[in-house]
A = this chain, B = another copy of it.
Amino acid sequence: MINFILCIHIHQPVGNFDFVVEDAYKNAYLPFLQALSKYPRIKLSLHTSGYLLEWLNENHKEYLDLLWQMIEKGQVEMMGAGYYEPVLAVIPKRDRIGQIKLMSDKLDEYFGVRPKGIWLTERVWEPHLPESLNAAGVEYVVVDDYHFVKAGFKKEDLSGYYITEEQGHVLKVFPGSERLRYVIPFEPIEKFIEHLKNIESSLQRSSVRLPLAVFADDGEKFGVWPGTHKWVYKEGWLERFLETLNHNLEWIKPVTFSEYLKDNEPSGRVYLPTTSYMEMGEWALPAEASLEYTNLIQDVKKWHDSERIKRFLQGGMWRNFMAKYSEANWMHKRMLLVSKEAEKSENPAAINCLYKSQANDAYWHGVFGGLYLPHLRSSVYENLIKAENLIEDVKNQPPIAISEQDFDADTHNEILIKTPKFNVFLRPHSGGGIQELDFKPIAYNLTNCLARRYEGYHHRVKTQGNGGAGEGTKSIHDTVVSKEQGLEKSLVYDNYERLSLIDRFIKPGAPLSPLSVDDLQTGRFEEGGDFVGALYKHEFRNQNSELVLTRNGIVFGKPVRIEKKIYFTDDSLLRIDYQLANLDASPLHTLFCSEWNILLGFGLKARDMGSMEEFELEEDWLGLKFRMKLNPCANLYTYPIDTVSFSESGFERNFQGLCILPCWEINLAPGNACKIELSIDAASLV
């Protein structure tokens, strides 16, 4: 006799496209539940993330009705989690508790049940979690057996559940089977039966517990992942699986987590290290290490004492995404800022927006696009800015408020200029650039751009051909194709952060003259200044309504001083007044550029636009008009910033923003200075 827990987690990111969710519903969520409902003795432990639950409630009540019936019959146990699928370890404790309670409340509202356990988002475990999980009323959690192996257990010795605790706050932890994650639904049913037979026969009988096998994984594997709909439903994998299970009920007893807990004592005590599932360990490492680790894992599998080594191999931890991608760190720290404001405000609508902004998807990148998907990042900023708008009482705001703080925890202060229309976050220590420029009326971060980075898997873009979706029986981890040809041409890497208001001096003249937009796009130009990423001094002037950034640097060997005064005009334009001074005893002749990276202009090609005094972008889908005015007029170049990244359906190119590069030819006699004015405006389209 063996207990079997079938646990499914279904989830859609906050801000995902509606048609994507609808597809997932039709191809996976609905057919899975319908199939299962025909086998009432096969129990399911189910987690539906909050955003998806609400979407189902709005779009497919019939799904919730069916679910409700299955819950009533005792076939389904609902599990909780952080409501919008945050990585629990990295959000503030009060939000951790708040999001879990919100999920419990919603389940109570929808189905009249309060969950006892939670689905641990992305299985990101940290040892201090039990304390806040306890405070949120969580009794159990499910992770991978991989977590236990990293704590020194052997997979074959695992069974049932274990006790862990933090400061005496107890949590029961189930190890989910990694083997079953690969078997279900990708291998023949016999492999499943075989695995359960092995567990049943190998584990020592105990009077206080029955052997247990736990499958706990994403429900998207049953129909959303490439090829799986055909395999799971049309080719009958799921039907065969359920039918087989139903025929083996005399020795396989499907139970829910709570049913198992009621009848069985814990198997022991465990302290799990900072880890997630095995693959997350590959993704979270820095690019070089990620490649090395992935290769090593592949190689070790072929060695004769593979298990002996694999057991002790470990990759990176989730938090490292914040070191790997400064954009993720910035988003995370922005979220912490709003969390503090939301806590003070006690405004429920703002807190709900805050919770939405904590959805994990946009903060990292593995086999799904994640951070590389601009619409997911935009959704984070949208919710953060909406939360602030709700808290701030925009109508009664002062025309301008400047504050200074180390917002992103890098030991340097950033500057925040707030107006009723804009938030501007500036980094004096990073070239005096703009980190974030929010247009508050539509809650949009205009500078939400991602730098082009080397990824450990990029060499495979060159070696893999393009093609259709993978074969049905392959796990997503094995399937890599390119979604378009020639992707390798987009493998260009930035050696700087894609802020805005970056001050460049580019060499005009041979061999780079005339400046080609292609060279700019691919970074093949000579930077003659030392201002990019460097430390600017800052001061506030004119009764704290203006920020002035200054730096003395070197341009092609000559001392040059940049001053940029940043303020808002009476008609609420963002204005930058540059003053460039030649501090040298010889004339200065060079090209000065102010680089802006704006998440607008999807579909635009690289262009040398010639001399312009104004540049405008209209985005109908956003309802936004963006305008940059240049005085004197500048030679303007624009090019799309494209990245190449993994997605579940293969390598793909993503537009991360438009680089707008106004360039001015500078001719300065010794000791002379010149002025350049830039103004930025955004307006809602009605």
* Chain B CB within 8 A of A319 CB: yes
A269-B323, A322-B269 known; A314 and B165 CB under 8 Å?
Answer: no
* Contact stretch, chosen from A6-14, A405-413, A481-489, A591-599: A405-413
- In the assembled complex, the Cα of A173 lies from the Cα of B128 at a distance in Å of 20
In contact, A312 and B336 (Cβ under 8 angstroms) = no
B contact residues around A152 at 8 Å (CB): 284-286, 289-290, 315-316, 320
B contact residues around A323 at 8 Å (CB): 151, 268-271
Tell me the minimal C-beta distance from A494 to chain B in angstroms.
Answer: 17
Chain A 165-189 near chain B by CB (<8 Å), digits 1 or 0: 1011110100000000000000000
In contact, A153 and B273 (Cβ under 8 angstroms) = no
* Chain B CB within 8 A of A333 CB: yes
| Closest Cβ neighbor of A295 among chain B residues | B308
* Chain B CB within 8 A of A274 CB: yes
In contact, B312 and A313 (Cβ under 8 angstroms) = yes
Interface range on chain A: under 10, 10 to 19, 20 to 34, or 35 or more?
35 or more
In contact, A308 and B322 (Cβ under 8 angstroms) = no
* Chain B CB within 8 A of A112 CB: no
| Closest Cβ neighbor of A126 among chain B residues | B127
Copy tally for this chain in the complex stands at 2
* Chain B CB within 8 A of A623 CB: no
* Chain B CB within 8 A of A441 CB: no
- In the assembled complex, the Cα of A89 lies from the Cα of B92 at a distance in Å of 18
B contact residues around A313 at 8 Å (CB): 309, 312-314
Give residues 134-169 of A contacting B (CB, 8 Å). 150-154, 163, 165, 167-169
* Chain B CB within 8 A of A470 CB: no
Tell me the minimal C-beta distance from A309 to chain B in angstroms.
Answer: 7
In contact, A322 and B271 (Cβ under 8 angstroms) = yes
* Chain B CB within 8 A of A266 CB: yes
- In the assembled complex, the Cα of A266 lies from the Cα of B333 at a distance in Å of 19
In contact, A170 and B269 (Cβ under 8 angstroms) = no
- In the assembled complex, the Cα of A432 lies from the Cα of B24 at a distance in Å of 55
**Central interface residue in A273, A275, A316, by most chain B CB within 10 Å:** A273
| Closest Cβ neighbor of A318 among chain B residues | B271
In contact, A163 and B308 (Cβ under 8 angstroms) = no
* Chain B CB within 8 A of A72 CB: no
In contact, B311 and A312 (Cβ under 8 angstroms) = no
Give residues 292-333 of A contacting B (CB, 8 Å). 292-293, 296, 300, 308-309, 311-317, 319-320, 322-323, 329, 333
- In the assembled complex, the Cα of A91 lies from the Cα of B336 at a distance in Å of 26
Q: Which of B126, B154, B315, B322 contacts A312 (CB 8 A)?
A: B315
Give residues 16-70 of A contacting B (CB, 8 Å). none
**Beyond A269-B410, A314-B314: 6 further Cβ-contacts under 8 Å?**
A152-B290, A152-B315, A271-B319, A273-B316, A274-B274, A292-B312
Chain A residues packing against B (C-beta within 8 Å): 89, 92, 126-128, 150-154, 163, 165, 167-170, 172, 266, 268-271, 273-275, 284-286, 288-290, 292-293, 296, 300, 308-309, 311-317, 319-320, 322-323, 329, 333, 336, 406, 409-411
Pairs A–B under 8 Å by Cβ, sample size 10 = A126-B274, A151-B316, A152-B284, A168-B409, A266-B410, A273-B274, A273-B316, A273-B317, A312-B315, A313-B313
